[in-house]
Chains A and B, each alone.
Chain A
């Protein structure tokens, strides 16, 4: 019942992933980040069979970064999505397929267009304005159908994201321990969870500045 949710905004893509890692009926971690930075302008969010997910995401990440090093140019987000689809499709007809569903959020610096791709474990790849995997889709699609608009600003996107998360908190039978929200745009990938949960991230107040030398604390 992991949440993987993404929506396109003006000049970028917002991605939310739930923080709970569960095994059976237990929550075993509350700060689980279900995303990987494939290259400076492409983010993958994943959900699925435990074990398969991280293995697969890091395999794609390694190959995408290797491409960047080898050829001195980064793959575009849509090329990364095609590559990911092909790897999943190959695995689908192997002895043990990866059971992983992913979202690929990216900003192509060449075309200056943000893209969001939904790829399921069967390796169907579709480019969408907003997307979600699993049960989260059933609860959020209607909200997104109603409120998503082409060219929304980041602020409007954050408001819509907050609506979706609130709905999920209300309707899902288990606590998913909140979400991490990230944005992919022309400046790269950033964590913007603080914008979605302003209450939980009070601005740190600096009362006193101390200069600490290395080794001083231990002494």
Chain B
């Protein structure tokens, strides 16, 4: 209870492949030990090619999703185009830092493909918006320690979309199994230049 980031539980992971990215989350939302919902998605998309994973305090996950939906919608109308992943990452960073002395208790990760350069992009943040750029993978949430271990042993460069899906799913599922605050199903998004696939993983329900 003392750590707001661990009241509701949940994890996210993003990985880079060959001209593709994957981002995945579990579906549990709990109140400490008690499971409350098995349908709580933590990955949101803003436009066709930008995805945001939000772990941490569920209320802040919902608030931030609503805030970013508003900001990206206004951006889309003002710019007459959709936001790019790099731009969105800076939007996340500055939005979080605005609340430097009363932060949102979240661990966001961004994944997407730049529509101009067609380059995959992933990054993570701490709760006050410090960006962590990565070429390989980003993890966050109550299973982040386990996810680091899984990603470091399973990930390799230039995975094709299908292989990236398998690697990402296996990493998340195995990490979840050792996390009492996570699990209860998972969602995996595989994003390529002109195709996005969303998959639901059943997983253990205990």
Q: In the complex they form, do A and B come into direct contact, defined as C-beta atoms under 8 angstroms apart? A: yes
Q: Which residues of A contact B (CB under 8 A)?
A: 85, 89, 92-93, 118, 120, 122-128, 131, 137-138, 141
Query: Binding site of A, secondary structure by majority: helix, strand, loop or mixed?
Result: mixed
Which residues from A are CB-within-8-Å of B58? Answer: 122, 124, 126
Say how far A10's CB is from chain B's closest CB, in angstroms.
20
Q: Which A residue's beta carbon lies closest to that of B29?
A: A126
Which residues from B are CB-within-8-Å of A123? Answer: 59, 62-63
B37 near A122 with CB under 8 A, answer no
B34 near A124 with CB under 8 A, answer no
Contact with A along B5-34 (1 / 0, CB 8 A): 001100000000000000000000101001
Say how far B10's CB is from chain A's closest CB, in angstroms.
11
Distance, CA A85 to CA B59, complexed state (A)? 9
Q: Which 3 A-B pairs have the closest CB atoms?
A: A124-B58, A123-B59, A126-B37
* 8 A/B residue pairs, CB under 8 Å, sorted by A: A122-B7, A123-B63, A124-B58, A126-B29, A126-B36, A126-B37, A128-B36, A137-B34
Residue B92 is within 8 A (CB to CB) of chain A in the complex: no
Query: Binding site of B, secondary structure by majority: helix, strand, loop or mixed?
Result: mixed
Say how far B204's CB is from chain A's closest CB, in angstroms.
15
Say how far A116's CB is from chain B's closest CB, in angstroms.
12
Which residues from A are CB-within-8-Å of B31? Answer: 120, 137
Which residues from B are CB-within-8-Å of A89? Answer: 59, 62-63
A93 near B102 with CB under 8 A, answer yes
Which residues from A are CB-within-8-Å of B155? Answer: none
B102 near A124 with CB under 8 A, answer no
A125 near B36 with CB under 8 A, answer no
Residue B181 is within 8 A (CB to CB) of chain A in the complex: no
Which residues from A are CB-within-8-Å of B57? Answer: 122, 124
Tell me the count of chain B residues lying within 8 A, CB to CB, of chain A: 15
Say how far B90's CB is from chain A's closest CB, in angstroms.
24
Residue B133 is within 8 A (CB to CB) of chain A in the complex: no
Q: Which B residue's beta carbon lies closest to that of A92?
A: B59
Residue B40 is within 8 A (CB to CB) of chain A in the complex: yes
Most chain A CB inside 10 Å of its own CB: which residue of B8, B63, B102: B63
A85 near B62 with CB under 8 A, answer yes
- Report B92-132 residues with CB < 8 Å from chain A CB: 102
Q: Which B residue's beta carbon lies closest to that of A118?
A: B36
Most chain B CB inside 10 Å of its own CB: which residue of A92, A122, A124, A128: A124
Which residues from B are CB-within-8-Å of A126? Answer: 29, 36-37, 39-40, 58
Contact with A128, one of B37, B62, B102 (Cβ below 8 angstroms): B37
Distance, CA A124 to CA B22, complexed state (A)? 27
Distance, CA A64 to CA B179, complexed state (A)? 40
Q: Which B residue's beta carbon lies closest to that of A93?
A: B102
Which residues from A are CB-within-8-Å of B37? Answer: 126, 128
A122 near B34 with CB under 8 A, answer no
Q: Which B residue's beta carbon lies closest to that of A82?
A: B66
Distance, CA A92 to CA B8, complexed state (A)? 16
Say how far A124's CB is from chain B's closest CB, in angstroms.
4
Which residues from B are CB-within-8-Å of A92? Answer: 59
Which residues from B are CB-within-8-Å of A93? Answer: 102
- Report B55-78 residues with CB < 8 Å from chain A CB: 57-59, 62-63
